[in-house]
Amino acid sequence: MTALLRRYGRGLTIAILGLTAFWLLALVVLPYFIMFRYSFRPYLPVDQLGGPNDVYTLGNYATFFSSPRTIQLFGWAFDIPIHVQIFVLTVFYSCVVTVICLVAAYPLAYFLAKMAAPRNAPTLFIVLLIPLWVSEVLRSFAWFIILSFQGPLNTSLIGLGLIARPVRWLTGFNGVVVGLVYTYVLFMLFPIYNAIQSLDSNQIEAAQDLGSPTWRTHWRVVIPHSKPGIASGCVMVFMLSAGSILVPTLLASTTSRWFTEIVQQWMFESQDWNTGSAYAFLLLLICVLFVSLMMRLFKVRLADIAK
């Protein structure tokens, strides 16, 4: 507080704190509190609201564990609620997207931060940012066209003689993973780039002068220094992927439903906001657990991730 007052003065400091408080309370805390309250109330006709049936209950959460279906896994048959299965698959493939983005973004971030000529960096960043200038709808449609059965990808591969017949790329979660990686990989790149850029290059050169191989230099010097950036990127990519609705809607197949589609169906198609709130709260809970896991795994604080 003292530093803010000294730097911005009393008037500007009050304005900054007021806007921050308004954003946190009115746009974050209050909606989640209302959603949390709705999640414990039954879905009732309007004329029964406030009546004897309008009581707090766990029925909306019990719906999550209803409608079991039998699945085959490693030769064993299991009965699992269909919404639990969709929820687990959404979390699993969000983790897959996060790992792919990390593997793809880390080498590029290191190249931009420590190997690319400073005069070329702005041009490279503009090239990387061009996809973000296009609407997410158009980007998803572009991938839908590319991955379609008679699309340019199959046509090119057949023309090059790499495949004999068209491949159905949009099966399972393939299209969703491709679309999410393409959409959110930059959210992994920039935090890692910022973290690596702050590393003194003399430390890397000292490790190389002492005979450290490249992989050990990254393992012992670069990665430990860039842990806050990696944790921040993982958190953003996972949360954006798990909460995405547009990409799974456009690129999913009949066997790859995303959990946010279920939430949308409850709220906007069934008009059952109470059950939808319960499902949305479960998604929020898993995101909070993922943030906690990243903080423990990379041994960073929330303030480090926020940087």
Nearest partner of 245 among 264, 227, 231, 232, judged by Cα: 264
Question: Strand 68-73 and strand 76-81: pairing?
Answer: antiparallel
What does the alpha-carbon distance between residue 224 and residue 230 come to, in Å, rounded to a whole number? 10
pLDDT tens, residue order, the chain (307 aa):
677 777 777 788 888 888 989 988 988 889 888 888 888 988 888 788 778 888 888 888 888 888 788 877 777 787 888 889 899 999 999 999 999 999 999 999 999 888 888 788 788 888 888 877 888 888 888 888 998 888 888 899 998 888 888 888 888 888 899 999 998 999 999 999 999 988 888 888 888 888 888 889 999 999 998 888 998 899 899 999 998 888 888 888 878 889 999 998 888 888 888 899 999 988 888 888 888 888 888 777 777 666 6
Residue pair 151/251 in contact (Cβ under 8 Å)? The answer is no
Dihedral pair phi/psi, residue 274, rounded to 5°: -70, -50
What does the alpha-carbon distance between residue 31 and residue 40 come to, in Å, rounded to a whole number? 15
Residues shown for the chain: 307
What integer pLDDT is reported at residue 133 of this predicted model? 82
* DSSP category for residue 226: T
Give the bridge partners for 72, in sequence order: 77
The model's pTM? 0.86
Nearest partner of 177 among 126, 247, 225, 130, judged by Cα: 247
Give the bridge partners for 78, in sequence order: 71
Dihedral pair phi/psi, residue 255, rounded to 5°: -110, 15
